């Protein structure tokens, strides 16, 4: 393989400026669980780790929460604030910080990726193929809420032997391992008390982990649906890959100490891909050395594991993307070419299109009284509260027996709060006006609730104001296939730029994350219709759903090219992405504006082109070390963090965030390039197209006001 260096020179003509607010001060330290991070697990660090942990246990027998020994050195322990401060000053300690709690980023999607946006479909094996027939079988480790092994999506029959390199275990959960699921571990949070009988098994009691795992690597299940909706074949991105589940989340969140323990175990177990559909909220971003996900991912990548994380659900505001470390593959969410329509029918059979998942049974004829929430305003409520159908804002006597039109523009309450309020007052249906959520079909079970766009609201308001006795009905959901345009960037998908490192473009890539059908845990009463059996599949949305699409594709690439590094896999996925929708036009955001790299990174994943990228950008260990230098870490700290620091390595003189643009990343981001400045950016590309000579042509698409020249051309 040959490597080539390319220099990009950027000349701005127009002023481009970004304002950065400095982060607020951290909360005052207090007694509790702290994570003591001691860098990479090496021979010398293990000795210091054991001594330091021993000194803590001498003071308090039940102090230890977790110990990290594989790839990562450190531990989590119950400490006083004074103890934490004292330990932070010890030699070999990189950081000591309170144990954070992270949140979850809560069939057809793979077919859409295969046929919806790709211009050329590769006839070679791709994501549909069963990689169990290949020489190398990838193992996807998933950090989530657990898994339901009885799901048809996790059948282990005819998959062949478990990879001999696998070192994982199912612990006491022997019934979980079946050839498809080959690892299952569980981690209680520090507050759990086993004496109270809390379940410490890897079984999914939330549904999220089962959904994620089947999206990434579920085997084919025919005639899958959610009560008849989205009927088709459900399969994961890499059906032949094996699954290792690390249950780190409960209904109360995902403890950082558990996440770091799972990373440590996964490194020892020998996974190839790690998939995390969870992260911190945009309002509270951690520095890399105090972020268990960034820490664990760094050491996983050092050990050859590709780490894929969801980018968060705090969009569409800027600077909301999370999991932004350059060694992480960060995923945004997009729609697919399928919608769930639940239409409103007015008098005269006039139809207004709505979107939702509901199984309403109030008839197809418009015979039900219909009113605007504002018209039922209580005397002590504001007009805004009533038209938004906020709790305690409407007169129950006026709502009873009626379908209610509600706005959703004050952000004071959730849609489900409004639903509960209307139902509690005796309302029989709800029509919600909301442009942002109209692109995502939430599930309202039997209650007749649908979401319409603001452009359709005036027609309804005109009808309500011009009719003495307005009537309407809400139809149950139906599926609209081959919807255009698709994909679009989901409104909830967190946006860049990264608030931590603006010279690294985040998110990296986009994938389907809206209305995704996948396996679900059994006996979930919350999604079960009255009088029906519990569904085996469910439809949910979030970057939680887009993340396993990328994890599955990464596993396909790893199965076909076992020697590829995590950065080569990332580069292949990013450099072959598409920015074009199924109308051969640019991908747009939720309200129709053309999407940007801060919305979708490199673009929408291509499941065929990613297997033949031609050139890849290898981000080396030195690149990551230089990134840490430019982020403000000194050489001595970096030598503790990484086990692969070359002899004689020192941080570049005058390291600064401006130099981050020159790490060999598969995208280019330059912050605060202003006036008539020019900046030279260098990238090294490796030709993986074969032993023969290859010719590549160059296309430049520069935004207005920016001149770009490339050498060689």
Catalytic positions, please? 144, 208, 544
Q: Please answer whether residues 682 and 663 qualify as being in contact, where contact means their C-beta atoms are separated by less than 8 angstroms.
A: no
Burial 30-64 (b: 16+ CB within 10 A, else e): eeebbbbbbbbbeeebeebbeebbeebeeeeeebe
Q: Give the number of other Cβ atoms within 10 Å of residue 96's Cβ.
A: 23
H/E stretch holding 102 reads strand 101-104
Per-position DSSP letters for 163-187, written without gaps between them: PTT-----TT-GGG-SSSEEEEEE-
Separation of alpha carbons 165 and 303, rounded Å: 14
Separation of alpha carbons 219 and 130, rounded Å: 9
150: helix, strand or coil: coil
Residue 462 token pair: 């005109």
Nearest alpha-carbon partner for 309 in 55, 69, 507, 587: 507
Q: Which residues pair with 443 in a beta bridge?
A: 357
Residues 6+ apart with CB under 8 A from 594: 586, 587, 588
Nearest 5°: CA angle at 389, between 383 and 391? 100
Q: Which residues pair with 450 in a beta bridge?
A: 431
Peptide bond into 167 cis (omega under 30): no
Separation of alpha carbons 541 and 517, rounded Å: 9
Separation of alpha carbons 121 and 699, rounded Å: 22
Separation of alpha carbons 234 and 550, rounded Å: 17
> Chain centroid to CA 278: how far?
6
Nearest 5°: CA angle at 510, between 508 and 514? 145
Separation of alpha carbons 619 and 681, rounded Å: 15
Nearest alpha-carbon partner for 371 in 397, 346, 394, 402: 402
Backbone angles phi, psi at 465, to 5 degrees: -80, -20
Separation of alpha carbons 114 and 670, rounded Å: 33
Backbone angles phi, psi at 231, to 5 degrees: -65, 135
Separation of alpha carbons 93 and 74, rounded Å: 8
Residue 711 token pair: 């050498």
The 3-state secondary structure of 93-111, one letter per residue: CCEEEECCEEEECCCHHHH
Nearest alpha-carbon partner for 322 in 533, 138, 494: 494
566: helix, strand or coil: helix
Instruction: Give the single-character DSSP code of 470.
Output: -
Nearest alpha-carbon partner for 309 in 519, 501, 633, 570: 570
Nearest alpha-carbon partner for 539 in 230, 203, 277: 230
Per-position DSSP letters for 361-414, written without gaps between them: -S-SS--EEEEEGGGGB-TTS-HHHHHTT-TT-B-HHHHTT-EEEEE--S-SS-
251: helix, strand or coil: coil
């Amino acid at each position: 393989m040959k490597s080539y260096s390319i220099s990009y020179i950027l000349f701005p003509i127009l002023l481009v400026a970004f304002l950065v607010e400095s982060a607020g001060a951290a909360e005052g330290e207090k007694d509790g669980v702290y994570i003591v991070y001691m860098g990479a697990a090496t021979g010398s660090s293990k000795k210091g780790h054991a001594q330091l942990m021993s000194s803590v246990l001498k003071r308090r027998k039940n102090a230890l929460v977790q110990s990290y020994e594989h790839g990562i050195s450190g531990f989590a322990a119950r400490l006083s604030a004074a103890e934490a401060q004292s330990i932070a000053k010890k030699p070999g300690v990189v950081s000591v910080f309170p144990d954070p709690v992270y949140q979850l980023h809560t069939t057809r999607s793979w077919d859409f990726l295969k046929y919806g946006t790709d211009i050329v479909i590769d006839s070679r094996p791709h994501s549909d193929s069963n990689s169990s027939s290949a020489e190398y079988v990838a193992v996807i480790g998933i950090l989530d809420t657990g898994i339901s092994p009885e799901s048809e999506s996790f059948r282990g029959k005819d998959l062949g032997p478990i990879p001999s390199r696998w070192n994982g275990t199912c612990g006491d959960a022997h019934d979980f391992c079946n050839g498809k699921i080959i690892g299952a571990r569980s981690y209680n949070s520090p507050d759990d008390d086993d004496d109270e009988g809390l379940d410490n098994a890897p079984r999914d009691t939330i549904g999220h982990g089962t959904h994620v795992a089947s999206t990434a690597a579920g085997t084919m299940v025919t005639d899958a649906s959610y009560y008849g909706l989205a009927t088709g074949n459900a399969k994961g991105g890499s059906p032949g890959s094996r699954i290792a589940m690390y249950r780190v989340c409960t209904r109360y969140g995902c403890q950082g100490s558990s996440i770091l323990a799972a990373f440590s175990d996964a490194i020892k177990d020998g996974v190839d891909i790690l998939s995390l559909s969870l992260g911190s909220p945009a309002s509270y971003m951690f520095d890399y050395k105090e972020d268990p996900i960034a820490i664990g991912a760094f050491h996983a990548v050092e050990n050859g594991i590709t780490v894929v994380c969801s980018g968060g659900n705090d969009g569409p505001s800027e600077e909301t993307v999370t999991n932004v470390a350059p060694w992480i593959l960060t995923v945004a969410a997009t729609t697919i070419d399928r919608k769930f329509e639940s239409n409103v029918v007015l008098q005269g059979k006039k139809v207004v299109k709505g979107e939702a998942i509901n199984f309403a049974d109030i008839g197809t004829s418009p015979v039900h009284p219909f009113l605007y929430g504002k018209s039922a305003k209580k005397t002590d409520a504001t007009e805004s509260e009533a038209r938004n159908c906020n709790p305690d804002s409407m007169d129950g006597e006026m709502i009873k027996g009626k379908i209610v039109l509600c706005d959703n523009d004050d952000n004071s309450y959730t849609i489900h709060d409004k639903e509960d309020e209307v139902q509690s007052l005796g309302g029989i249906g709800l029509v919600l006006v909301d442009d942002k959520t109209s692109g995502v079909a939430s599930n309202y079970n039997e209650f007749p609730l649908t979401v319409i766009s603001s452009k359709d609201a005036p027609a309804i308001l005109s009808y309500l104001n011009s009719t003495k006795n307005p009537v309407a009905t809400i139809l149950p959901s139906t599926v609209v296939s081959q919807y255009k345009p698709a994909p679009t960037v989901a409104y909830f998908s967190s946006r860049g730029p990264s608030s931590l490192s603006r010279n690294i473009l985040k998110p990296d890539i986009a994938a389907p994350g809206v209305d995704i059908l996948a396996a679900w845990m059994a006996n979930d009463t919350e999604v079960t219709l009255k009088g029906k059996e519990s569904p085996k599949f469910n439809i949910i949305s979030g970057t939680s759903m887009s993340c396993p699409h990328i994890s599955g594709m990464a596993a396909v690439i790893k199965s076909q090219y076992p020697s590829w590094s995590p950065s080569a896999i990332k580069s292949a996925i990013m450099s072959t992405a598409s920015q074009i929708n199924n109308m051969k036009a640019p991908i747009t955001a939720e309200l129709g504006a053309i999407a940007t790299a801060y919305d979708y990174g490199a673009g929408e994943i291509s499941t065929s082109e990613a297997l033949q990228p031609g050139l890849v950008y290898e981000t080396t260990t030195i690149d990551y070390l230089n990134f840490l230098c430019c982020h403000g870490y000194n050489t001595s700290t970096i030598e503790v963090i990484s086990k692969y620091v070359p002899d004689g390595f020192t941080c570049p003189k005058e390291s600064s965030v401006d130099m981050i643009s020159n790490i060999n990343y598969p995208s280019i981001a330059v912050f605060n390039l202003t006036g008539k400045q020019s900046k030279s950016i260098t990238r090294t590309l490796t030709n993986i197209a074969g032993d023969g000579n290859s010719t590549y042509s160059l296309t430049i698409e520069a935004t207005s006001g920016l001149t770009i020249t490339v050498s060689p051309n």
